Amino acid sequence: MGMTDAMAWHATESRSESALDLHSASGGHHAPTSGEADAPQVFLLETARGVMKNNTYLVVDPVTHQAVAIDPAWQPEAYADALAATRATLCEILITHTHADHIDLAIPMSEHYNCPVRMSREEIAWSGFDAMRLLPLDGASWQVGAMTIEPILTPGHTPGCVCYRIGDNLFTGDVLFAEGCGICFELEGAYRMFDSLQHLKRRLPPDIHVFPGHTYVRPPGQRFSELMRCNLYLQLDDRDAFAAYRLRKGQLGRKVLEFR
């Protein structure tokens, strides 16, 4: 099935709502992710449908021009335009979790570009997600071109959430935002979120750039050291206190984004 047949209804609805916004992490409004010429290039695609706005990313290996898309959603023309602008070939689609705004274009883009979709085994088992070219993650890193992609299992928002480290960049979906962390729906989920954030704190270097799935105040690409300074959820070191605060009343509906 071609791009026109499989994806035209997305493009027709979304093009009038939000124009393509393509920024390079080595330029645009983000700090450089690396001074090395062969470092992965991160491009932000801000896509939307109605009130839902997402940060999705195209990461390009400047050596081979092979690319991966992270959580593609809403506007297929944005990815076609970005691939053309960067002269890149889409080789893989990386999914952080299976909420609708993060998998919207996973299957149609996989079919059109003839590339696999990667997702954690835990998320596949929990969600029932299926696709012809679905590749479950086994925890091991792999290569796309000259880029090493390292999956980090970070459950909490969903049971199988994954962050992806590519060079000096971490793509966190709805696990970690600049301002807070993803919502949790029950006590066990809040405990898992705490454990996941503690794991990231132990594992990540302070100068890695964090690219979340949504922007609320601070732009994506903040250094992890800055998030440690300003993000309350990274400052809570007691598991029960974290869970109680994350599950406090009034966190649904319009207050879902009130992290403090």
Q: Which amino acid is at 105?
A: L
Q: Rounded CA gap, 146 and 64, in Å?
A: 7
The pTM (predicted TM-score) of the whole model is: 0.87
Q: How far is CA 102 from the centre of its chain?
A: 8
In this predicted structure, what is the pLDDT of residue 250?
A: 79
pLDDT tens digits for range 221-250: 999 999 999 999 999 999 999 999 999 987
In this predicted structure, what is the pLDDT of residue 157?
A: 97
Other Cβ atoms within 10 Å of 119 Cβ, number? 26
Domain boundaries in the chain? 3-248
Determine the topology of domain 3-248 in CATH: Metallo-beta-lactamase; Chain A (3.60.15)
Q: Rounded CA gap, 57 and 54, in Å?
A: 10
In this predicted structure, what is the pLDDT of residue 256?
A: 52
Q: Which amino acid is at 122?
A: E
Q: How many Å is the maximal CA-CA distance in the chain?
A: 51
Other Cβ atoms within 10 Å of 206 Cβ, number? 10
In this predicted structure, what is the pLDDT of residue 43?
A: 98
In this predicted structure, what is the pLDDT of residue 82?
A: 97
Q: Which amino acid is at 156?
A: G
3 state DSSP class of 168: coil
In this predicted structure, what is the pLDDT of residue 25?
A: 44
In this predicted structure, what is the pLDDT of residue 51?
A: 87
Residue 254 DSSP label:
G
Residues of the chain with pLDDT under 50: 1-21, 25-34
In this predicted structure, what is the pLDDT of residue 36?
A: 77
